Amino acid sequence: ILNVEQSPQSLHVQEGDSTNFTCSFPSSNFYALHWYRWETAKSPEALFVMTLNGDEKKKGRISATLNTKEGYSYLYIKGSQPEDSATYLCAPYNNAGNMLTFGGGTRLMVKP
Amino acid sequence: DSGVTQTPKHLITATGQRVTLRCSPRSGDLSVYWYQQSLDQGLQFLIQYYNGEERAKGNILERFSAQQFPDLHSELNLSSLELGDSALYFCASSGWTAPPYEQYFGPGTRLTVT
């Protein structure tokens, strides 16, 4: 089982603030990294799937970068809105385990 | 709505009992994944099926088993239930077994063992 760490565990920001969080994972046997957004009382929803070192993906105000050599990914949210409040999960996939291993998540709360 | 359906939504049962959770993947998806989310833990991968065959296994207890049927729906069977099995069980599906494909999660089944 991979050791996947996400930081911070939780984050409170004001509406309009930009924020970012980190996902760290073992770089060996890396194949892909998934980011999911999980709103309370709903189910996780895919944001990005990244595979290449240096990859950068963007969806609206949310973007993510990937460094497979050092084993980390950043998720950025520009101009946070209350509807961005959710838990953001990262999950690397490596060839050894053939499965996604989810991190504990970063819980974001955006105050209006 | 992800297109993945799970039944039942809630299940309350007693220790020692056996339950079956059901999942129907998105139309056309061949892969089904089962996850467990307990209070003190994150999402834990249990097992994956692809077109009826087991493809990957996580930390699934021996008391738990799963299968995927020819119509691609899947069932997760939990037996000799213990209090610690109380959790939210998610099913997810994807088009392929390859990891670059995102997974679509169902609404989950909340199991309470009393």
Percent with pLDDT over 90 in chain A: 81
pLDDT at B99: 65
- Of B101, B98, B95, whose CA–CA distance to B31 is shortest? B95
- Mean pLDDT of the residues in chain A: 94
Q: Which residues of B touch A105 (CB under 8 A)?
A: 42
pLDDT tens, position by position, B83-112? 999 999 999 999 876 667 889 999 999 999
Buried b (16+ CB within 10 A) or exposed e, B94-109: beebebebbbbbbbbb
pLDDT digits (tens, 9 = 90+) for A16-53: 999 999 999 999 888 899 999 999 999 999 999 999 88
pLDDT at A63: 98
* Dihedral sign, Cα of residue B35, residue B6, residue B24, residue B14: positive
Mutate to test the interface with A, among B43, B88, B93, B109 (most CBs of A within 10 A): B43
> A108 falls in which pLDDT band (50, 70, 90)?
very high
Residue A73 scores a pLDDT above 90: yes
A25 CA: distance to closest CA in chain B (Å): 15
Tell me which residues of chain B have a pLDDT lower than 50. none
